Amino acid sequence: MDADILQIVLRERFGSLALDFVNTVVVTRSGPVDAFSGAGDVEAWMERAGTPAWSDLQPRGVSERRVLHTEALQLRVSIDTLLGDTAAGRTVEGPTLHALNRVLGWTRSSSRVVAGARGPHTLEPTYEGLHPAASLAPIVEDAIRLVSSVDRSRLRRCRAEGCLRWFVDTSKGGRRTWCSMATCGNRAKAARYRARHEGDIDAA
């Protein structure tokens, strides 16, 4: 994958690691592009997106890296289902619940006290990896934090054709339509402009 796609997918962050993770397919002018098309791509994203405990949990060696790639693609589908069910006011069905719990089982987590910038002492989660794809567990935790706290009427899928990205509309009016102005918003604007312009020609 070229570095540009990683730059495009990370140009706009969605306020939650789980949303950033699920939004790694972007519709560009030349069609949808997957930032996770190869094993190295997932690792580059995990590193750049600032996944918690990545340096401790990252896979070692070729076969572990392949496992992370396969599991990341599956988890992306599970989180998409979780978001869809949440937005529709439903709880997820057994297989999705099982898939999410399976990933959570790949780490043993505890916490430690650190002297932090945000106060004299804070609790920081620590993870011990038990599986090559253990680094995905913090993303599941973030997804559950999101769906248990979000106003579901503000959790939306992008309205652009072919775009599957999710966002939480935090705008005052609550009328946000696109995942990103830089991609889908601009394409929609250009399409509207073209439609208007073609109308002018027809009318002439």
Residue ranges in contact with Zn ion by CB under 5 A? 158, 160, 163, 165, 179, 184
Q: C-beta of 109: minimal distance to Zn ion in Å?
A: 33
Looking at the Cβ atoms of 18 and 160, the one nearer to Zn ion is: 160
Q: C-beta of 162: minimal distance to Zn ion in Å?
A: 8
Judged by phi (left if over 0) then psi (alpha if -120 to 50, else beta), residue 174 lies in left
Cα end-to-end distance, the chain, whole Å: 46
Q: C-beta of 66: minimal distance to Zn ion in Å?
A: 29
Short-list 130, 189, 195, CA closest to 159: 189
Looking at the Cβ atoms of 137 and 160, the one nearer to Zn ion is: 160
Looking at the Cβ atoms of 102 and 165, the one nearer to Zn ion is: 165
Provide the 3-class DSSP secondary structure of residue 65: helix
- Residue 104 neighbours by CB under 8 Å, 6+ apart: 137, 140, 141
Looking at the Cβ atoms of 5 and 134, the one nearer to Zn ion is: 5
Short-list 53, 28, 182, 180, CA closest to 129: 53
Provide the 3-class DSSP secondary structure of residue 185: helix
Would you state the structure tokens that stand for residue 145, as one six-digit string? Answer: 């934090």
Looking at the Cβ atoms of 36 and 106, the one nearer to Zn ion is: 36
Q: C-beta of 165: minimal distance to Zn ion in Å?
A: 5
Q: C-beta of 194: minimal distance to Zn ion in Å?
A: 18
